[in-house]
C-alpha cells in the first residue's frame, strides 16, 4: 500500500472514531433547536431536544447569557417565562408578551463532556401603527392639484405604504424609511399627487400599510375629499308626452357642488325671462297649442351657470270615452256574443234535421215496395154464426 492510500485510511479512522470509542459521525448528545419569529406582544415557545442526554439536564439561557431554566427549575424571576415541558430528552419554555428587547439568540446547553450547545434566533416583529394622512386642508376646485402625505411608525422590519382611490390603485412616491429613536423600529412615509375632477367629489383617498406582522389584516386610513365644480342641468317633462288641455310640469334637474341656488326659465322669442326662482319647476296649469316652443333653464350657483334646453310640442287632446259609451260598448259586446252562440246553435240544428230527414224518406221508399197494389184491397169480414164463419172477399 502506498503512502497516499495509507494517509487516507488514517484520516478516515480519525474522523469516525475518537478515544474511548465515542462515535463522532453521529453525535446523539448534540441538542437541536429552531429559529422562531413572533409578533411584539405575542407568545413564543422555545423547544430544545436531545437524543442521548448522558444523565445530564438541558438548560435555556437568554441573549444576555442569563439562565432561564435548568431542567424543570426556574432560574430567572420573570413571570412571562413559563415551563412548558421538561423531560430527559426535551426542555421547552414559553415567553409571553414578547417585547422588542427580547429579540436575540437564545442558547440551549447540555452539560456533557464536553458541553454541547444549540442556538435559537428569536426575531420580534414590530407592528406598524395606524397610518396618518396629512396635506388636505379644505375643498378643492375642479382641476386643482393636491398632494397628500402618509406616514406610519413602529414597524420592524420597515413596512410598505400603498395608495388607492376606491378600487383604483394610485401610484404614489416610493416608500421612504427612517429609523426610530429606539434603534429597533422604523417610520415609513409616502406621498401621492393628483389632479381632481368633478368625479372625485366625495371620494375617499386611502393609505394602507402592509407588513408581515399584520397577517393580512387591513390597517389603513382614508381622507374624504370635496371638489367644487360648475353645475349641470337637464329638463324632464311630466307627463312625458303632453297634450292640449293637460297640466304640465317641466322639472329642471340641476347638479353641482354646491348645488344650484337659483333657476332662470326662458322661452325663445319671448322677452323678458319667464321665471326666476329657487324652485326648479316651470308649471303649465292648462296647456295650449301656443305653449309649444323651445324652453331654456339656466341653473346658477356661485361656481357658475349652465343652460339646458327642451323643445315642447303640444299634441292634440286625446278623446276621453264617456261612462255611457263604455256601458254601451259592454252591452253591445254581450249581445254580439249571444247572437254568435245562437247562429252556431242554428247551424248544428239544421245539419241535424237535414241528416235525419234523409233517413226517414229512405225508409218510406222501402215500405211502399212490399205493400199490396192500391187497386186491390182484401177485406175480411167475420160472421157471427157458430160452427163456421162465412168469408167474403171484395175486390175493389
3-state DSSP assignment of residue 373: coil
pLDDT of residue 383: 40
pLDDT of residue 26: 58
pLDDT of residue 387: 40
Topology of domain 30-123 in CATH is Immunoglobulin-like (2.60.40)
Separate counts of helices (H) and strands (E) for the chain = 2, 25
CB 154 within 8 A of CB 180: yes
pLDDT of residue 359: 57
pLDDT of residue 274: 81
Average pLDDT over residues 259-283: 86
**130-224 and 30-123 share a CATH fold:** yes
Quick check: bond before 73 cis, omega within 30? no
pTM: 0.65
pLDDT for residue 250 is more than 90:
yes
Mean pLDDT for the chain overall: 84
pLDDT for residue 145 is more than 80:
yes
Distance CA 34, CA 123 (A): 12
Q: Which CATH architecture does the domain made up of 130-224 adopt?
A: Sandwich (2.60)
Cell 430544545, residue located: 48
pLDDT band (50, 70, 90) for residue 35: very high
Q: For 13, phi and psi rounded to 5 degrees?
A: -65, -35
pLDDT of residue 319: 58
Quick check: bond before 272 cis, omega within 30? yes
pLDDT of residue 356: 74
CB 319 within 8 A of CB 287: no
String of DSSP letters for 375-392: T----------TT-----
pLDDT for residue 168 is more than 80:
yes
List residues bridging with 121 in a β-sheet. Answer: 105
pLDDT of residue 5: 46
CB 116 within 8 A of CB 145: no
3-state DSSP assignment of residue 245: coil
Question: In the chain, what are the domain boundaries?
Answer: 30-123, 130-224, 229-310
Query: Residue 166 gets which letter from DSSP?
Result: T
pLDDT of residue 206: 97
pLDDT for residue 34 is more than 80:
yes
pLDDT band (50, 70, 90) for residue 248: very high
Range of lowest pLDDT (207-221, 230-244, 354-368): 354-368
Distance CA 92, CA 331 (A): 100
Q: Which CATH architecture does the domain made up of 229-310 adopt?
A: Sandwich (2.60)
The 10s digit of each residue's pLDDT in 49-72 is: 999 988 899 999 999 999 999 999
Name the nearest CA neighbour of 148 among 204, 199, 198: 204
Distance CA 213, CA 194 (A): 31
Average pLDDT over residues 117-144: 96
Q: With the CA atoms of 61, 65, 68 and 72 taken in that order, what torsion angle do they form, in degrees rounded to the nearest 10?
A: 60
In the chain, the percentage of residues whose pLDDT exceeds 90 is 67
pLDDT of residue 272: 76
Amino acid at each position: 500500500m502506498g503512502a497516499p492510500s495509507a494517509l487516507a485510511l488514517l484520516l478516515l479512522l480519525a474522523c469516525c472514531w475518537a478515544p474511548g470509542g465515542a462515535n463522532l459521525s453521529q453525535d446523539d448528545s448534540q441538542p437541536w433547536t429552531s429559529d422562531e419569529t413572533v409578533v411584539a406582544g405575542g407568545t413564543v415557545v422555545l423547544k430544545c431536544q436531545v437524543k442521548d442526554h448522558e444523565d445530564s439536564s438541558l438548560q435555556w439561557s437568554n441573549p444576555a447569557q442569563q439562565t432561564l431554566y435548568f431542567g424543570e427549575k426556574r432560574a430567572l424571576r420573570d413571570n412571562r417565562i413559563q415551563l412548558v415541558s421538561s423531560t430527559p430528552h426535551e426542555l421547552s419554555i414559553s415567553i409571553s408578551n414578547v417585547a422588542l428587547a427580547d429579540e436575540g439568540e437564545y442558547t440551549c446547553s447540555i452539560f456533557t463532556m464536553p458541553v454541547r450547545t444549540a442556538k435559537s434566533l428569536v426575531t420580534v416583529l414590530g407592528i406598524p401603527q395606524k397610518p396618518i394622512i396629512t396635506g388636505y386642508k379644505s375643498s378643492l376646485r375642479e382641476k386643482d392639484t393636491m398632494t397628500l402625505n402618509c406616514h406610519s411608525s413602529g414597524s420592524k422590519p420597515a413596512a410598505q405604504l400603498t395608495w388607492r382611490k376606491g378600487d383604483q390603485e394610485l401610484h404614489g412616491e416610493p416608500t421612504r424609511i427612517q429609523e426610530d429613536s429606539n434603534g429597533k423600529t422604523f417610520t415609513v412615509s409616502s406621498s401621492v399627487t393628483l389632479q381632481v375632477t368633478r368625479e372625485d367629489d366625495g371620494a375617499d383617498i386611502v393609505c394602507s400599510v402592509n407588513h408581515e406582522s399584520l397577517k393580512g389584516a387591513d390597517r389603513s386610513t382614508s381622507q374624504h375629499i370635496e371638489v367644487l365644480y360648475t353645475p349641470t342641468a337637464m329638463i324632464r317633462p311630466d307627463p312625458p308626452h303632453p297634450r292640449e288641455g293637460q297640466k304640465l310640469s317641466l322639472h329642471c334637474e340641476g347638479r353641482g357642488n354646491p348645488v344650484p341656488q337659483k333657476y332662470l326659465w326662458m322661452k325663445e322669442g319671448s322677452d323678458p325671462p319667464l321665471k326666476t326662482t329657487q324652485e326648479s319647476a316651470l308649471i303649465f296649469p292648462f296647456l295650449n297649442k301656443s305653449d309649444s316652443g323651445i324652453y331654456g333653464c339656466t341653473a346658477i350657483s356661485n361656481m357658475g351657470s349652465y343652460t339646458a334646453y327642451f323643445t315642447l310640442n303640444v299634441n292634440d287632446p286625446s278623446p276621453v270615452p264617456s261612462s255611457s259609451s263604455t256601458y254601451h260598448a259592454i252591452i253591445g259586446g254581450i249581445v254580439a256574443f249571444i247572437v254568435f252562440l245562437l247562429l252556431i246553435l242554428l247551424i248544428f240544428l239544421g245539419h241535424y234535421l237535414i241528416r235525419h230527414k234523409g233517413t226517414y224518406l229512405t225508409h218510406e221508399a222501402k215500405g211502399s215496395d212490399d205493400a199490396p197494389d192500391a187497386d186491390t184491397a182484401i177485406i175480411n169480414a167475420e160472421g157471427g154464426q157458430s160452427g163456421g164463419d162465412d168469408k167474403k172477399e171484395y175486390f175493389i
